[in-house]
């Protein structure tokens, strides 16, 4: 039986001489692996719809017991051209896809699509990444506590964001913890990004959230709890070094 599904290519691994296995993130089947014959042949009619970051319609024969499905045809919906032409956006999109491959949430596909569509046209690429990171943390059950002090629950006198404690810390608790303190303005930004989602993405632009410092902090939460090493994060760090 033929199945047609819309999805976004998040990973590609070369296979044999001319073939490849791509990972496609879909709303319907979660993540699927598709075997693409003739991936490296420029004459292959599927070549333009199976590149990383491509959103396409994929037609394949679904075999529930197989590790990967054989792609029949793919037709391009959105190639996210704006991402591919800019080094920062390319590194950010790579990191987003890498995280999407390891953290899966209920809103997983919508968040991934929301992030790449926005990244394609925005002049605030780090705001998009930070918003995606906040969603990924929530999906992984690691949402940053920005509602009050992570230790005593107090909502007044918040002075620090602490990875070790899972979120905000108040001045009383910090008397013995001695976590490095943050400016109130920075903590306000951390709260906004962690309260937002892609449905309100338009409203959080121009608020100073296009910041790699926020990315660093959210990545610290993600990597300390997941104990994962995201390869594309390293290129982003050197870009901002
Ligand atoms: Zn406290």
- Give percent of the chain above pLDDT 70: 99
Same domain as 47, residue 92: no
More confident residue, 59 or 38: 59
State the CATH number of the domain containing residue 108. Answer: 1.20.1440.120
Asked if the structure places residue 156 within a domain, the reply is: no
pLDDT at 181 > cutoff 70: yes
Domain membership of residue 57 as a residue range: 2-79
Q: Rounded CA gap, 78 and 224, in Å? A: 34
Domain contains 74: yes
Residues 40 and 101 in one domain: no
Of 59-63, 74-78, 86-90, the least confident = 59-63
The structure's pTM equals: 0.94
| Domain assignment of residue 161, yes or no | no
CA of 169 to the centre of ligand 1 (A): 6
* Residue 165, in any domain of the structure: no
Q: Give yes or no: residues 13 and 132 share one domain.
A: no
59 & 132 share domain = no
Gap from CA of 231 to ligand 1 centroid (Å): 35
User: From ligand 1's centre to the CA of 137, what distance in Å?
Assistant: 22
Q: Is the pLDDT of residue 2 over 80?
A: no
Based on the domain organization, do 12 and 70 belong to the same domain? yes
Query: Do residue 128 and residue 17 come from a single domain?
Result: no
Task: Write down which residue in 57, 79, 101 finishes a domain.
Answer: 79
Mean pLDDT of 198-207: 95
pLDDT in tens, 90-122: 999 999 999 999 887 778 999 999 999 999 999
Per-residue pLDDT, averaged over 156-176, amounts to 97
**Which residues, by Cβ under 5 Å, contact ligand 1, an ion?**
149, 151-152, 154, 170, 173
CATH of the domain at 8: 2.40.50.140
Number of domains in the chain: 2
- Indicate whether 1 pLDDT > 70: no
203 and 117, same structural domain?
Answer: yes
110 and 135 in a single domain? The answer is yes
Same domain, 96 and 212: yes
Higher pLDDT, 107 or 188: 188
59 shares its domain with 75: yes
């Amino acid at each position: 039986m033929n199945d047609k599904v819309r999805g976004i290519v998040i990973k590609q691994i070369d296979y044999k001489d001319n073939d490849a296995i791509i990972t496609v993130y879909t709303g319907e089947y979660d993540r699927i692996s598709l075997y693409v014959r003739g991936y490296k042949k420029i004459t292959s009619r599927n070549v333009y719809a199976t590149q990383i970051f491509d959103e396409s319609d994929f037609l394949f024969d679904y075999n529930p017991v197989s590790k990967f499905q054989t792609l029949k045809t793919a037709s391009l919906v959105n190639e996210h051209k704006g991402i591919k032409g800019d080094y920062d956006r390319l590194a950010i999109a790579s990191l987003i896809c890498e995280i999407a491959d390891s953290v899966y949430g209920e809103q997983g596909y919508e968040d991934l699509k929301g992030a790449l569509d926005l990244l394609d046209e925005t002049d605030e690429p780090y705001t998009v990444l930070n918003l995606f990171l906040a969603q990924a943390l929530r999906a992984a059950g690691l949402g940053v506590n920005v509602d009050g002090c992570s230790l005593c629950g107090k909502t007044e006198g918040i002075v620090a964001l602490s990875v070790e404690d899972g979120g905000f810390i108040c001045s009383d608790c910090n008397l013995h913890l001695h976590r490095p303190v943050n400016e109130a303005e920075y903590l306000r930004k951390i709260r906004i990004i962690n309260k937002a989602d892609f449905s309100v993405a338009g409203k959080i632009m121009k608020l100073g959230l296009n910041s790699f410092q926020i990315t660093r902090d959210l990545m610290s939460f993600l990597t300390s709890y997941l104990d994962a090493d995201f390869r594309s994060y390293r290129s982003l760090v050197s870009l901002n070094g």
